[in-house]
Chain A
Amino acid sequence: MFAAATLALLVTLALTLVRAGLGPTVFDRAQAANTIGTVAMLLLAVLGFLNGRPEFLDLAIVYGLLNVIGTIAVLKYFRRGDLGDSGQQDEETAS
């Protein structure tokens, strides 16, 4: 039964990769990356149960954190053009 779920998740992963390659806009690709991250979390959980190793669940939690932070960081980069403060030295000399 875990094999069926694993196969379904792998098919989902392949189809989402197709959208990541196709997507005309850049937001399509960001959405596909987010979905790939979520499916990877589920795949880790299912494979952990398949192999009888509970440590994979910790990997799934960590990857979930990385996924959401990564998606929001990429969107911030699209919106602003950079990832945060730049030019800290200018602030110091000015003050």
Chain B
Amino acid sequence: MTAWLDGLSWFCLVAGGFFCIVGAVGLIRMPDFYTRMHAASLTDTGGAALIIAGLLLQGGLTLAPVKLLAIFLFLFLTSPTASYALANAALLSGLKPKCRNETGEALPDATPPLMSKRPPAPKPQPDEKQAKPAAKKKAASKTAAKKTPAKKPAAKKKAAKKS
């Protein structure tokens, strides 16, 4: 039983250390402040939870597990608050999330910046000239078919005008 508990505690401690290192590497490698903050939160939650779980499983002296739980509860309540305060302060100071490369092209899967009302980049369309008239004819016939019988003569007139 104690060997099994020791093994589980070892695993939790090593996994916690791994999460902490991954979070720190993310802090260095990520391109933007907001992504770095997301990486750092990994250390604060995953790393802390696993390390404290590993220490809890060690069993302790009389009051140690209670204090460990207090530490974890405190971290659980305050580190998201601190992260939110950081993000809020950064955003209100005008630090915009990075949505464009150094060359100026939009990064893939990037949403437009929060503070500006610029529309998103247009999607590239292959063979625009050949596709468009066929698409228009298809759309006109579809709308004509969908409309109610009362509106049919108007739609038929429109379709006759277009073709």
Contacts and interface: CB of A to CB of B under 8 A. Distances in A.
Q: Which of B33, B71, B74 has the most CB of A within 10 A?
A: B71
Contact of B27 (A32, A42, A46, A65): A32
Interface residues of A, number: 42
A39 B43 contact: yes
A88 to B, nearest CB: 26
Contact of B14 (A5, A11, A38): A5
Contact of A12 (B23, B33, B74, B82): B23
A60 B71 contact: yes
A57 B64 contact: yes
Contact of B86 (A9, A11, A27, A64): A27
Interface residues of B, number: 50
Contact of B90 (A11, A16, A27): A27
Interface stretch (B44-52, B110-118, B130-138): B44-52
A25 B96 CA distance: 12
Interface in B8-31: 9-10, 13-14, 16-18, 20-21, 23-25, 27-28
Contacts of A1: 9-10, 13-14
Given A12-B23, A25-B95, A72-B82, A31 B36 contact: yes
A68 interface: yes
A54 B93 contact: no
